[in-house]
Amino acid sequence: MRGREVAIIGVGATVAGTHPGMTPDQLGMHAFKEAINDAGISKSTIDGLLGGASSGAGTVPEKFAARIGINPKITQSLAYPSSAFTLHHAAFLIYSGMCEVVACVFARNPPGAMEALSGPPIYNAAHGLINANAVAALGFSQYMARYGASEQALADVVVAARQYACLTPGAAYREPLTFDEYFAAPFLVWPYRSFDIAKAMAGGVAVIVARRSIARQCASKPVYLEAYGRRQATRGWENDEHLLCWPMKDVAKQVYGQSGLRPKDIDVLAIYDATSGIVLQTLENYGFCGDGEAKDFVKDGRIAPGGDVALNTFGGHLAGGYLFGWFHHVEIVRQLRGVCGERQRANARIAQFCTTGGMREHYASTIFVTE
């Protein structure tokens, strides 16, 4: 697929966190209206609607299409409906020629917003492997033993995320967190504390994508999809180094190969941080630093506001808002449009999103550019 043929033309989002009494459809509607206004398009031009119903608490595309009064060519949600996978699917529909404008609407209001851990509760009943993020903890435990990393690196990620969230209107956790407060918290699932694991949250995001010829005529600056990388490591730990997330190295080859870009070219980086530890593994596997070097890459505030690396500049899942990576995409678009105020990365032109999912079997990355 050639780059810059498909663009995000509009984004809309609710605040992240809790929305007592609101239905996913109400949250989705709020985000959708904001997104079509942002793009400056009529809803009748939308010929594809994607969503995320399989999480059990999301918007059902077939029903949401009726709510917004359209009869699109395609309504669909993926079996694994997290953001990058759905956004890529929207792009595929456009590349195929089937659709011209595709809206991705993802909204949910799960029980226990801001309290319950994100992720499915039971992974292995016989042995008590409880919560999806425990699988990430298994990976980070292996990583610590392999490379001598410590909890300090996790704290660097968590504290930086909070600092960015404090600069982001609508973020979930807008109170600062000190290193002392981090280390004073008890272990939940060693080596993770509660701070290391994203909480379930309510919220809604709409992202509208269109073919290039339409994007150029839209109200707001389009953000083009430049390169796509994917891998499904479905055989899990039958593969060596599965929990070290080495399939990311293959995805990195895809996106950097297609774009001719390198990690040093990325102005704004967004990582799917369901846990803090995956940020460190992602930085290494995509080549932002060498294997085992992430603990030094993130230290001394290098990934915090004002640091060398613009990473999850809205606070990520850990502090900004957990919505399967959709808030990350809203932030990427706003950073590349230069509208992020005091957290804005100067001269941001190129952004990258990197994601991991499930029992570490789902991998995707996208590089975004402006013209």
**Residue 184 binds other proteins (CB under 8 A):** no
Contact between 243 and other proteins by CB under 8 A: the answer reads yes
Rank residues 79 and 126 by Cβ distance to other proteins and give the closer one.
126
Burial class (CB within 10 angstroms; exposed 0-12, middle 13-18, buried 19+) of 121: exposed
Site track for other proteins across 325-364, x = CB under 8 A? ----------------------------------------
Cβ 144 to other proteins shortest distance, Å: 9
Nearest in space to 99 (alpha carbons), one of 47, 44, 39: 47
Q: Which stretch binds other proteins (CB under 8 A): 148-156, 157-165, 186-194, 275-283?
A: 186-194
The reply to whether 203 sits near other proteins by the rule CB under 8 A is no
Report which residue type is found at 19. Answer: H
Q: Are the C-beta atoms of 31 and 13 separated by less than 8 Å?
A: yes
| Closer Cβ to other proteins, 191 or 315, answer by number | 191
Nearer to other proteins, 70 or 132 (CB): 132
Would you count residue 149 as binding other proteins (CB under 8 A)?
no
- Residue (143 or 324) nearer to other proteins, CB: 143
Residue nearer to other proteins on the CB measure, 146 or 299: 146
The least CB distance from residue 185 to other proteins, in Å, is: 11
Cα–Cα distances (Å) from 38 to 10, 82, 123, 243, in that order, read: 5, 23, 40, 40
- The distance of closest approach from Cβ of residue 139 to other proteins in the complex, given in angstroms and rounded to an integer, is 7
My answer on whether omega of the bond before 176 falls inside 30° of 0, hence cis, is: no
| Both tokens assigned to 288 | 């932002």
Which residues 6+ apart lie within 8 Å of 255 measured at CB? Answer: 227, 228, 229, 261, 352, 365, 366, 367
C-alpha 81: how far from chain center: 12
Cα torsion angle, 161, 167, 173, 175, sign: positive
Q: Which stretch binds other proteins (CB under 8 A): 40-48, 132-140, 261-269, 327-335?
A: 132-140
Residue of the chain from 142, 232, 258, 344 that contacts other proteins (CB under 8 A): 142
Site size with other proteins, rule: CB under 8 A: 35
Q: Which residues contact 350 (CB under 8 A, 6 or more apart)?
A: 226, 261, 265, 266, 267, 268, 367, 368, 369
**Closest CB to other proteins among residues 130, 289:** 130
Sole window of 72-80, 123-131, 155-163, 254-262 interacting with other proteins (rule: CB under 8 A)? 123-131
Tokens of 83: 């953001």
SS3 at position 133: helix
53 Cβ contact list (under 8 Å, min separation 6): 59, 60, 61, 77, 81
Which member of 96, 97, 125, 148 binds other proteins (CB under 8 A)? 125
Say if residues 202 and 30 touch (Cβ distance below 8 Å).
no
- What burial class does residue 354 get, using C-beta atoms within 10 Å of its C-beta: 0-12 exposed, 13-18 middle, 19+ buried? buried
CB of 112 to other proteins, least distance (A): 4
By the rule CB under 8 A, 122 interacts with other proteins: yes
Choose which of 57, 188, 289, 350 interacts with other proteins (CB under 8 A): 188
**Residue 278 makes contact with other proteins by CB under 8 A:** no
- Amino acid in position 32: F
Rule CB under 8 A: choose which of 169, 235, 306, 347 binds other proteins: 235
Is 145 one of the binding residues for other proteins (CB under 8 A)? yes
Interaction between residue 185 and other proteins (CB under 8 A): no
Task: Note whether 188 and 197 are within 8 A (CB).
Answer: yes
Which residues are at the interface with other proteins (CB under 8 A)?
110-112, 115-117, 121-122, 124-131, 134, 137-139, 141-142, 145-146, 186-192, 235, 237-238, 243
